[in-house]
Amino acid sequence: MVERMASLNVGNVGEFLREQRRNAKLSLRQLADAAGVSNPYLSQIERGLRKPSADILQQLAKALRISAETLYVQAGILDERDREDLLQVPAAILADPSINEGQKQALLQIYESFRKENGSGKKAEGTQEDEAEATGADAP
């Protein structure tokens, strides 16, 4: 029974991905190619047979031009409240009329890379700042 419940959760993200793919008018093969995953693997995700990693979800989100956080929530990786907090910066960037689309995409990529580097916005244990604080030294 436990396996069935896990399968249902995986199915939710798969069903959501299928719906997003169809809304984007992409074939399974087109999305797989754009996301850099195999066609059979994407098919298994959509059918709820495989649970994709956060990295795979990020690749799929980029190919579908939706936020990775949306997929993280669907997959149960991210809580809905956390998602709302995370979407404030990207929403502000996208809403800014003073910058063009290329600049917006560049800013979003930089923001996402910083979040990824810092452990999705959460301070990682054992950072140089933590070590410096513990030893009384200045962080580099």
Is 118 part of a structural domain of the chain?
yes
112 domain residue, yes or no: yes
First-to-last C-alpha distance (Å) of the chain: 52
- pLDDT on residue 74: 80
Model pLDDT, residue 135: 38
What's the average model confidence in pLDDT over 75-94?
71
Q: How far apart are CA 69 and CA 60, in angstroms?
A: 11
Answer whether residue 60 is part of any domain: yes
**Number of domains, the chain:** 2
What is the CB-side half-sphere exposure of residue 59 using CA atoms within 13 A? 14
Residues 91, 74, single domain; the answer is no
pTM over 0.85: no
Region label for 25, one of left (φ > 0), alpha (ψ between -120 and 50) or beta (otherwise):
left
**Above 70 in pLDDT, residue 9?**
no
